[in-house]
Structure 1
Amino acid sequence: MASVRTYGNLDVAVRSDTSDVGEGPVFDPRTGRLVWVDIYGCAVHEDDLATGGQTVTRLDTMIGAVAPRAERDGFAAAVAEGFGLITDGALELVDPVLPEPSLRMNDGKVDSRGRFWAGSNHLEFAAGQGRLHRWDGASPSVVVADGLVLPNGLGWNAEDTVFYLADSYANLLYSAPYEPESGELGPLEVLVRTEGSGVPDGLAVDTDGCFWVAMHGGREVRRYDPAGRVVGVVPVPVLQPTSCAFDRDGRLYITSARNGLSARELTDHPLSGSVFVLDTDTTGVPVQPFRG
């Protein structure tokens, strides 16, 4: 049985008492800034962690995730209606793959070849309505997997041979064989049926072969090894950690949410909605910018 390490010394990286559902943290290689979204707040946050400076871009639609662009300004975005591009603070909806008002895009990430992957879900989290999409920016997106509930955190191992996916309200963590050149997945296989409080939300993969999963409602981030065993736990001083991302030096940044908490819960957990940082003894698998 694998031993479980408890990680401490968590600090506040970005204090916020206004973000509703902080999600999708990613580092922008063009600026070095930490970028994250507020899904229900319809906002993109860009934080200069050295100076404390912040830029907030507000949209007219829910936004699940953004990705810095490789060769152009702005961001690729997974929004309620599909995939688009944010330039100079304005959203251009490029791939309206979700015209149904009952659906929206959720968390997303870019693969090693610069393609944007994102999950979509029913607003009421109806079983079987969740799908996983892949978009290269040059052609319409494709559905890579369906029949899910709330496809959420995703990532790839350092060798680019295994894909990980969290399905939150199914309490499942999947893995699948992955072919990086084509972007094709093998069958999704259940790696973990999560137990205890909270549901698996966003995740980040490290170069030691493990992956870190924010447990929404569980007050912690868990580190799993490739066999699906918990090998580390990061206690978080909020009820709803949502996702995590590594910087280039191995610090783990953890977003959180205020949505749905009572006045008493917010009083007891005043940092809800903030971003936290943890020094680790590993590094993250690099996340590439969007090539489109």
Structure 2
Amino acid sequence: MMGFVFDAVTDIRDQVGESPIWDTETRSLYWVDIIGKSIHHLDTRTSKIRSWDTDDFPTAIALRHTASGAVVALAGGAALFDFESGAVTSFSSPDPTEGNRLNEGRCDPSGRFWVGSMRTNLNPDGSGREIDQHSGALFRIDPNGSATRLTEFEFGISNTMAWSPDERTFYFGDSLRNVIFAFDYDADTGGLSNRRVLLENYAHGVPDGSAIDDDGCLWNARFGGSRIIRITPDGRIDREIAVPVTNPTSCTFGASDRKTLYVTSAQFTLTETQLQTNPLEGALLATQTDCTGLPDYRFAG
């Protein structure tokens, strides 16, 4: 285990913080709180925080190229969100399966929004419910809103989306199976082939969201495992980093040199005693690294 020093970036404590993305132009960080039904924005130049409420559970976010806004994965479908007005415009409904909801989402280097679904683990009031089947799938949403299903309906909790620096490999995980897959990726068409296992059955936590660095290594947050692991392209773990929260959920690289690792976390599944014992649970954390991360891509729609 490697000892990195993590600091809480804000006073916010999310129920399920997720999907941190860095905006290089404004030196800002965006992320969501799924159960809290909130989108957060932190301007790191001023430390000013702005938050927006959503009617549905927001599960992932990516900024847009052409407008002052974002594409947001909500439980019930993808929507366009305007930061100035707060307007939410339905955009795409990739998974019509009753009982499913959207979960992880991220843009590829070509500006297409990828999103995974899962059997919902949330009641309408945000309380947890048991997942009764593996019915999630992976989808690609093109800039015009058309959605393409890329896998069978087979995943328990869709998580982790990242593309290698050479844009030839795509990484995708299933938390319930405790596995991260690698696929051959066609950058021109957005197609996938040759699925294989990158890492499975790692003993500490389950795979949640990930970031990727310039060396092509995947930095994977381990929900329930209090750590982030760095996985090489050949599936070796070359770093295990202790994180001062139980449920790190995702991460991204930011700051002017893209060497600051931002980590979201969740209070979900924790007891009141655990929350009182560790006031960092649910915090947005940051630490300095010696690696440079790839940028977060924008949606072209």
The TM-score normalised by the length of structure 2 is 0.91
Q: Which residue of 2 aligns with 1:57?
A: 52
Q: Which residue of 1 aligns with 2:226?
A: 219
Residues 92-124 of structure 1, C-alpha deviation per residue, up to 9 Å, x if partnerless? 111123445521111111111000011110014
Assess if the C-alpha contact under 8 Å between 1:81 and 1:97 holds in 2.
no
Q: For structure 1, which segment, 176-185 or 47-56, has the greater mean C-alpha deviation from structure 2 after superposition?
A: 47-56
Cα deviation for residue 63 of structure 1 reads 1.0
Which residue of 7, 13, 24 maps to 2:9? 13
Residues 8-41 of structure 1, C-alpha deviation per residue, up to 9 Å, x if partnerless? 1222222323x11000000124422100000111
Q: Which residue of 2 aligns with 1:114?
A: 111
Residues 286 and 96 of structure 1: CA distance in aligned 2, closer, same or farther (over 3 Å): same
State, as a whole percentage, how many aligned pairs show the same letter.
Answer: 34
Residues 51-106 of structure 1, C-alpha deviation per residue, up to 9 Å, x if partnerless? 22111011100111111100111110111111110112121111123445521111
Which structure 1 residue ranges, 4+ long, deviate > 6 Å from structure 2?
A: none
Which residue of 62, 66, 72 maps to 1:67? 62
Find the residue that maps to 1:94 and give its secondary structure. strand
Residues 253 and 137 of structure 1: CA distance in aligned 2, closer, same or farther (over 3 Å): same
Find the residue that maps to 1:188 and give its secondary structure. strand
Which residue of 233, 236, 261 maps to 2:270? 261
- 2:130 is the counterpart of 1:133: no
Instruction: Specify the code of the residue in structure 2 equivalent to 1:91.
Output: V
**Alignment partners' CA distance in 2, 1:187 and 1:86:** 35
Assess if the C-alpha contact under 8 Å between 1:80 and 1:98 holds in 2.
no
Which residue of 244, 249, 271 maps to 2:280? 271
**Alignment partners' CA distance in 2, 1:174 and 1:256:** 23
Structure 2 unaligned segments of length 5 or more: list them. 122-130
Cα deviation for residue 280 of structure 1 reads 1.0
- 2:290 is the counterpart of 1:281: yes
**Alignment partners' CA distance in 2, 1:29 and 1:123:** 33
After TM superposition, the structure 1 = structure 2 runs for residues 239-254 of structure 1, keeping only pairs within 5 Å, are 239-247=246-254, 248-249=256-257, 250-254=259-263
Instruction: Specify the code of the residue in structure 1 equivalent to 2:140.
Output: R
Assess if the C-alpha contact under 8 Å between 2:27 and 2:45 holds in 1.
no
Assess if the C-alpha contact under 8 Å between 1:59 and 1:90 holds in 2.
no
**Alignment partners' CA distance in 2, 1:138 and 1:13:** 36
**Alignment partners' CA distance in 2, 1:27 and 1:194:** 30
Find the residue that maps to 2:144 and give its secondary structure. coil
**Alignment partners' CA distance in 1, 2:273 and 2:230:** 30
- 2:67 is the counterpart of 1:92: no
Residues 111-163 of structure 1, C-alpha deviation per residue, up to 9 Å, x if partnerless? 11000011110014344311111111304211112311111111011111111
Structure 1 unaligned segments of length 5 or more: list them. none
**Alignment partners' CA distance in 2, 1:170 and 1:193:** 8
